[in-house]
Structure 1
C-alpha cells in the first residue's frame, strides 16, 4: 500500500509539471454577493445584513480532500463541529453536527431557501451534546452540486419557524445552463487505510430557450479506519490459551471511521421562465449509502445474557430439554475459573459440548465476538413552485415540497441469546423513516413611507407542514423472546435489539404558521427590521416569536449591527415516541444494556416522564462590519443564546425487578438483561455565549494574487438550572466537551497556472468525559493543530491537484489513564483522530 501511494504521488507530481493546454471554459465559481437567507428583501449584500452571514463558494468545497460534506463545512466554518462517531450506535449512520455548541436539531437546513427535512436517525449516543437529537442528514448532498452555501449565524425562528435557534444553513444548487464539470478524487490515510474513491459530475443544460436544467451526480466509496490497540481482556484470554479470540491478532474491538459503500448522490435543479414576470422551478435529490461500523467486544467468559448470567462467576449453560419440553434441568453449573481463560478446549467446556442436551454460546463463538452494526440510509426530496411579480409590484412564491429520510438497520456477527443454538447471527432490527411535507405561500410588497430612505419591505405568508415518523418492526428473530429466556439468556439481537410490532408505529404532527417580516431604511444610515411569527401545532398548541434587527452605517466603511429574537424548537414525533436498547461500556470494559423509552411509557412516567413541550430561546447578537481598506475586511460578532426547557435524554435510571418485569411484559427486546434506561425530558436551561471573528485580506505578491482568511470562534455553554433528571456528568459534557476556542488561517496563492493552498487549524483544550464509568470521571485533552496543504495546476481542459489534510499527521493527546477497551485516542476529538490524509484529484471542465 505504501509503495502504491508513493508511486501515485510520483505520477501526480510529473503531471503537475506538464505544459499547460489552451483553456476551453473557465471553471471559476461566481459567488453571489447578495444573500437570500435571513432576509426577504432583494439585493442585500453580506455587509448590509444586520445578522452575520457567511457565504462559502462551491470552489471552497472542491479545494479540500475531505470525502463527506459535514467534514468540509467543519473546515470552513469554525463554529460548526462534527466528530468521527465510532461505536456510537445509530449516530454512526448520520453523524450529529453542532453549530455554536448546540445540538443538530437546533440548526435549520434550507435548500434553495426551502426547508429541508430532518434525518431519520436519532442520536442515542451523541457524545453528550447531541444525545437524543434528531438533526438533518446533510451528507446526502453532493458538494459538486453546490453553487454556494449561506450560513446565518443567528436565531431566525421568527422568520423560518422551528429549529432555527443556533442558525441556518442554506444550500444553493448550481443553476448554470451550460458546461460540464467532472472530478475524480482518490486518497488514503498515512496509516494505509481509509481508502477513498470518488467520481462526481455536474452538467448544465438549457431547458428550452428560457430555462436551465442542472444535474449533479456523485459516486463514492470509503474504506474503514482503525486507530485501536488490543483490548487487555482479549489479550489475556489469548495468552491464557484461547487462540480463537475474535479478529486476533488484530484488535478485537475497532475504534475508527466506518465503511461507507455504494454511496450515490443525485441532484437536479430546473428553472423555466414562463413569461417576463413569472418563473417555474423544480429541484430535488436522491441519495443512498451503506454504512457499516463496529460495536463492543463480547468477552466469552462474562458477557451477560450470552456467556454468563452472574458477571462471569459461572458460565451460562443452556438446557435444551428444559427449554423445549419443560423437562427437569440436568446441565451442570460450571464456574468460569474451572474452565481456564475461556479456552474452548478445556475439560469442562468439552464435557458440555459433548452433551447434546447442554449448550454454551462458546460453541458458536469460542473467542467471543464483536458485532458489526450499520444499515442502509436513503434520502429523497422534491420541491416545486412558481414565483414572480404582479402588476402592482408584489412578489410572490408559491411552493410545495416533500422529503423523506430512512435508515434500515443491520447488525451481524451477533445473536439472540433467548433462541439458544437456533439463533441466527445476522439480523434486520427494523427501520426508522422521517417524512415531511411543506406548503408555502410567500408575498413581498414594497410600501412607500414618507421620509424613509427606502420603501418598507413587507413580507408575509403562511406555511402548512406535516411531519411523520415511522418505526418499522424488524425480522422476528431480532426481537423474539425465545425459549431460553427463563434460563437467563438475553432477548433480541445482542447490541441493538430489534423493534417488535408493539414498538412499531406511525406518529404524525401538523402545524400551520403565519408570519410578518418588515424591513427598511429609515435613513441612508439606519436599517431596521421586525419579524413576528405565529404557529399552531396539533400536539402541544401555539407559539409566537419575534425578531428585532438593526444596522447602523456609522461611516462609509463601518457598519454596526444587532439582533434580538425569541425562538423555539418543537419536539419531534420520534423523540416523543421512540424506544431503543443499546449496549455501552464503562471504563473498566464491562458492558451493560442501556435503554431509551418513550417519555409517556408507564415505566418512564413512574420516574418523572411526561409529554414533551417545545424548547424556547432568546437570542442576542451584536457586531460590526469594517472594510478597513480596499483589501482588508473584518467582521466581529458577539452572541448569547438563552435556551429554556431543553429537550434531551435524562440521566440513567437504575431499573428495579418490577420495572424489568413490566418491560418484559410489554415485549421490549433485551429487557431481561437491561440495567439502565433513559427517556426524553424538558429538563434544563442553558446560556451559550461566544464571539466570531472573520478577517479577509487580498494582496499581490510572488508574481500572483494571495487571499488570506482568518476565522476565530469562541463558544461557552453554562447550565443555568436543572430539575435533576440530568446529572453532573452530563452537565460536564454540555459545558466542556467542545473546545472554547478554535481558529484557522487559510492562504490561497494563484500564480500563472498554479494555485497553492495552506490552512492552519487550531482547537483549544477540551475535556473528555466517561459517563459510563463508576465513578464518572473526566480528563483534559490538550489543544491540537493540523496543517492542510494543496497544490494544483490548471492545464486548460483539466486541473490536477495534490493535497494533504493534516499533513503533519497530528493526533489527539492520549489520556492513557482513562482510555479503555482498545481505544487509542479520545473519540470526541474536534479535529478527528485518523491522522494525515493524502489525496489526488483530476478536474475536467468543458
Structure 2
C-alpha cells in the first residue's frame, strides 16, 4: 500500500457522482465493526493506523499531514472510524461504488452512524472529541482546548429519561444548577442555564454557533433565586433534534459578545441525510399522579449537492401532581393541590444544508415550539372579604394559564477556500411570545358583575442577528502549526413589548373595601404597556496558534456599540502548556460583560391595592427604571454588568481510557443587576408626592445593586473499561464547588434598601454549595445500563428581615439516584425502563414562617424536584 495517493481529475469528477451510488458504496465499505484506540495526532498517521487495522486502502493527498485527527476511541466500522478521525477538519470521506476510500475537501457526505448501530456496537462514551465552542481552530478537542469544555452527546441526554433539555443537562453536568421545584406558577417559568452559581442570563446560549433569543419572561416571582433574570428557554429545543451539546465553562464575551460571563452553551443539531427514529415514553410519580406521555423523533432526507434535511419533533402531555400540604383555615381543612403544572407542549426543528460547489454551501435551521401549562394559585377562601359568595359560595382556587410560542429561523452561507479562508454569512430571527390568563377567579370590586376569567398580560421578545465570520489557517515557519486568524462583524436588533390585559383584570369596579383587580391575577395596565428597542453593532478579532509542540495560545478582542448605553470592549488571553504528553496546564484571563436586557429595562407591573378616602386608587408598582417615579426614588440608568474572569486548569490523560480535568476559577462581577428592595413608608411617600406620584404606596425597580466575587473548582474524571465478553463500562465523576460573596452593595441616593437580606442570601447561599455527579454506563450485548448518582450540597434560605433571622433555614444535602435499563431486540427496536430519583428522596420541609402560602411544603430553592420517584418506560424504533 502506498503512503499517499494523489487525486486525479477522474477521482475529483467521480466525487460529484450520484447520491445513490454513494449509499451503495457506503454499505459495501462499512465493513465489520472493530475497536480502535487512536489518540489525536497527525491525520495522515491516524488514517494509516485505521488502514492497517482494517485492511481498507485509504487514499489522501500529502497536505493531509498538516491536519490533526480527532480521537478514534470505540467500536466502529471502518467508515465510522474514518469519519471520527476527520471530525472538525473540514475534510470528508468519499466512498466509491467499488468500495474505494478517498479523503478530500468537499467530498460527498458519509452516512452518519445510526443510533441503533451505536447501541449495537456497545461503544462506551468517547473521552475526547472535537469542539467548536470557545475556539476558531478546527482541531481543538475537549482535552486539548485552552478552556474547559464539556460535550454531552445525544445518547447521554436520552439515557437520563428526561423529556426536556434543561432537566437532562441538570442531571449530567455538575456545574449546571437550576432549581427544579415545579410547584405552582414558579414551575411554569422558562428554565434557563445556570453555570457556576451565576444567573441563567449570564450564560450565552447558541444553536449551531448562532446566538439564541431570550424568553419574553423576566423572573419577577418572589421566593426564588435569580429574580430579575431574563433567560433563554432551553426547553423549546427538542432533545430529538440534538446531536450534542457543548458547554464552555469560561467567560467568552470577547469571542461571542454579551451574556457570556459564566460560559456558553452551544446546542449542535443533528445532520442526517437518511434514516430516522421514533420514541414514545410513559411515566408517572410513585405517589400516583403526574402521569406523563411523550413522543419524539427525527427523520433524515438527502438534498442536492451532498445536502441533508433533518426534521425533528417532540410532543408532551403531563398531568398535574400534588406536593402541597393541607392546612386548616376558614373553619375547615383546605386541600389546594399545590404542585407541578399540567402541560401540553410540542416542538419542531429542522436543519438543512446543500452544496452549490466544493467550496460554497448554503444552510438553514429553525425551531418552533408551543407550550401551554395550567396551575393552581393560593386559594381564595369562602370567608375572605375578597370573595364574592354569589359566585363562589365555597371559595375558589384560581388557576393560572401560561402560554408560550417560540420560533427561530436562520439562513446562512459558508464559503471555504484554501487560499482565501473560511467565510460564514448568516441571518437569524427569533421571537418568543408569552401570554398569561387566569380563570376561576374574580375582581371583587365588581361584585357579582365580575368576570371569572381574564387575559392578564402579553409579553413579546424579538431578536434579529446578522453575522459575518471569517477565519483562516495561515502556515508560518516559526510555529508548530498554522496560525488561525479570525474576525467578524455583527449587527443585532432587539425589541421587547408589554401589552395590557383585560380592562376588568386591573380596573376599579365601584365596590370599596376590597381588592381592586383580579385575585391572584391583577392584569398589566395600559400604563405598564410599552415597547423598547435597541440596536447593537460589533466587531471581533481573534488569533490562535500551536506555537510549539507543547505550547499554544489564543487572543481575542471584541468591541460593541449599544444604541442605548454606548460602547464596551472586552478581551481574552488563553494559553496551554503540555508538561508531558499526558499532563497539561491551561489558563485564561478575560473580561466579560452582560448588557441589561430590554425586559429588565422595561418590565413594569401595577397592582391596585385599594381605593383611598379621596376616591383615588392606591397603587403598588414594579417600575421600569426610566419611569419618573423610579428616578424620584433614586433609580439610575442601568449599566452593563462587567466581570474579570480568571481560570487555571489541569488536564491529565494517564491512558487512552482515562482522563481527569481540574479547573479553578474566580469571577468578579461589578454592577450586578437586581430588583431593589420594596420601597415604602413616610419618606418614600413624601418623595413620591413631591414628584407628583402620590398614588403609589410601594415601589420597586431594577438597579445595579452590588459587586460580587465567585470562586469555585470543577473536577471531571472519566474512565472506560473494556470487559471483553462482558462488554464495555464507562465511568464518570464530576464535582463542582462554588461560592459567591457580596463584596459591595451600591447605596441608593435616598438611603432606600437596594439589596435586601433575602436577596443577598440568594446570591450567596441560594444554590447548593457543591454538587457531585457519579455515572456508570455498561453495555453488554443487547443490554445497556445507565446509573447516575447525584449529591446536592447544603443551601440556605434567609428571612427577608433581620428581626426574623431565627427562621433562617439551612437545607441538608440530598442524594438522588437515576437508573435507566435499555434492551435492544434488534438493530431497530429498543425498550427502556427507568426511574428518576429511584429511592424516593425528598428535600427538607420548608419552615412554616418562610412559606409564601400555607400549602407550600418545600422551598422553591429545592435543586431536585420534590415529588419523589418518577418511573418511566420508553420504546425506540430506528429506521
What range describes the TM-score normalised by the shorter chain of this pair? 0.7 to 0.9
Deviation at 1:61, TM superposition (A): 1.2
1 CA distance for matches of 2:629 and 2:777?
Answer: 58
Deviation at 1:483, TM superposition (A): 2.2
1 CA distance for matches of 2:634 and 2:185?
Answer: 26
> Where does 1:674-823 land on structure 2 (aligned, <5 Å)?
676-701=698-723, 703-724=726-747, 725-771=754-800, 775=804, 777-796=807-826, 797-816=828-847, 818=849, 820=851, 821-823=854-856
Candidates 381, 386, 397, aligned match of 2:413: 386
Deviation at 1:466, TM superposition (A): 0.6
Q: Secondary structure at the match of 2:775?
A: strand
2 CA distance for matches of 1:450 and 1:767?
Answer: 57
Residues 371-418 of structure 1 deviation map (CA, whole Å, 9 limit, x = unaligned): 211221010000011012136231100000000011011111222233
Candidates 397, 404, 407, aligned match of 2:424: 397
Q: Is the 8 A contact 1:579 1:598 kept in 2?
A: yes
Residues 505-535 of structure 1 deviation map (CA, whole Å, 9 limit, x = unaligned): 2110101000001110121111011101000
2 CA distance for matches of 1:716 and 1:255?
Answer: 32
Q: Is the 8 A contact 1:91 1:125 kept in 2?
A: no
Q: Is the 8 A contact 1:432 1:469 kept in 2?
A: yes
What's the counterpart of residue 669 of structure 2? 643
Candidates 621, 624, 638, aligned match of 2:647: 621
Q: Is the 8 A contact 1:89 1:124 kept in 2?
A: no
2 CA distance for matches of 1:518 and 1:723?
Answer: 38
Structure 2 residue 386 is the aligned partner of structure 1 residue 363? no
Deviation at 1:662, TM superposition (A): 7.2
What's the counterpart of residue 341 of structure 1? none
Candidates 307, 328, 332, aligned match of 1:238: 332
User: Please, which moves more after superposition, 489-498 or 830-839?
Assistant: 489-498
Candidates 34, 42, 61, aligned match of 2:157: 61
1 CA distance for matches of 2:779 and 2:280?
Answer: 22
Residues 596-645 of structure 1 deviation map (CA, whole Å, 9 limit, x = unaligned): 21122233222211211111011111101110122221011001110000
> Where does 1:40-51 land on structure 2 (aligned, <5 Å)?
40-51=136-147
Deviation at 1:455, TM superposition (A): 2.0
Q: If the length of structure 2 is used for normalisation, what is the TM-score?
A: 0.81
Q: Is the 8 A contact 2:839 2:869 kept in 1?
A: yes
Residues 392 and 271 of structure 1, relative CA distance in 2, 3 Å threshold: same
1 CA distance for matches of 2:193 and 2:395?
Answer: 34
Q: Secondary structure at the match of 2:356?
A: strand
Q: Is the 8 A contact 1:552 1:561 kept in 2?
A: yes
Structure 2 residue 869 is the aligned partner of structure 1 residue 836? yes
What's the counterpart of residue 491 of structure 1? 516
Candidates 275, 293, 297, aligned match of 1:197: 293
Structure 2 residue 658 is the aligned partner of structure 1 residue 632? yes
Deviation at 1:82, TM superposition (A): 2.0
> Where does 1:370-769 land on structure 2 (aligned, <5 Å)?
370-390=397-417, 392-484=419-511, 487-581=512-606, 595-654=621-680, 676-701=698-723, 703-724=726-747, 725-769=754-798
Q: Is the 8 A contact 2:843 2:862 kept in 1?
A: yes
Residues 701-720 of structure 1 deviation map (CA, whole Å, 9 limit, x = unaligned): 47121110001111110000
Deviation at 1:467, TM superposition (A): 0.6
What's the counterpart of residue 81 of structure 2? none
2 CA distance for matches of 1:492 and 1:519?
Answer: 59
Q: Secondary structure at the match of 2:117?
A: coil
Structure 2 residue 377 is the aligned partner of structure 1 residue 295? yes
> Where does 1:172-191 land on structure 2 (aligned, <5 Å)?
172-191=268-287
Q: Is the 8 A contact 2:224 2:860 kept in 1?
A: no
Deviation at 1:259, TM superposition (A): 1.3
2 CA distance for matches of 1:176 and 1:502?
Answer: 50
Residues 86 and 220 of structure 1, relative CA distance in 2, 3 Å threshold: closer
What's the counterpart of residue 258 of structure 1? 341
User: Please, which moves more after superposition, 82-91 or 121-130?
Assistant: 82-91
Residues 481 and 818 of structure 1, relative CA distance in 2, 3 Å threshold: closer
Structure 2 residue 172 is the aligned partner of structure 1 residue 76? yes
Q: Is the 8 A contact 2:205 2:211 kept in 1?
A: yes
Residues 658 and 624 of structure 1, relative CA distance in 2, 3 Å threshold: closer
2 CA distance for matches of 1:106 and 1:658?
Answer: 32
1 CA distance for matches of 2:864 and 2:363?
Answer: 39
Residues 660 and 260 of structure 1, relative CA distance in 2, 3 Å threshold: farther
User: 5+ residue gaps in structure 2?
Assistant: 1-113, 610-617, 748-753
Residues 647 and 819 of structure 1, relative CA distance in 2, 3 Å threshold: closer
Q: Is the 8 A contact 2:181 2:866 kept in 1?
A: no
Candidates 300, 306, 311, aligned match of 1:210: 306
Q: Is the 8 A contact 1:93 1:374 kept in 2?
A: no
Q: Secondary structure at the match of 2:329?
A: helix
Deviation at 1:124, TM superposition (A): 0.4
User: 5+ residue gaps in structure 1?
Assistant: 1-22, 240-247, 308-360, 585-591
User: Please, which moves more after superposition, 448-457 or 747-756?
Assistant: 448-457
1 CA distance for matches of 2:444 and 2:688?
Answer: 20
> Where does 1:109-258 land on structure 2 (aligned, <5 Å)?
109-125=205-221, 127-234=223-330, 237-238=331-332, 251-252=335-336, 254-258=337-341
Q: Is the 8 A contact 1:618 1:642 kept in 2?
A: yes
Deviation at 1:363, TM superposition (A): 2.7
What's the counterpart of residue 285 of structure 1? 367
Deviation at 1:656, TM superposition (A): 5.5
Residues 151-178 of structure 1 deviation map (CA, whole Å, 9 limit, x = unaligned): 0000000110000000010000000111
Deviation at 1:149, TM superposition (A): 0.2
Q: Is the 8 A contact 1:496 1:582 kept in 2?
A: no
1 CA distance for matches of 2:340 and 2:607?
Answer: 19
Residues 825 and 90 of structure 1, relative CA distance in 2, 3 Å threshold: closer
2 CA distance for matches of 1:840 and 1:441?
Answer: 45
Residues 676 and 191 of structure 1, relative CA distance in 2, 3 Å threshold: farther
Deviation at 1:367, TM superposition (A): 3.4
Deviation at 1:660, TM superposition (A): 11
Residues 261-286 of structure 1 deviation map (CA, whole Å, 9 limit, x = unaligned): 1x110000001111011111000000
Residues 595 and 67 of structure 1, relative CA distance in 2, 3 Å threshold: farther
Q: Is the 8 A contact 1:219 1:265 kept in 2?
A: yes
Residues 660 and 437 of structure 1, relative CA distance in 2, 3 Å threshold: farther
Q: Is the 8 A contact 2:225 2:861 kept in 1?
A: no
Deviation at 1:24, TM superposition (A): 11
Residues 451-499 of structure 1 deviation map (CA, whole Å, 9 limit, x = unaligned): 1112221100110001100112222212223223xx2333322223212
Residues 129-168 of structure 1 deviation map (CA, whole Å, 9 limit, x = unaligned): 3101000011101001100000000000011000000001
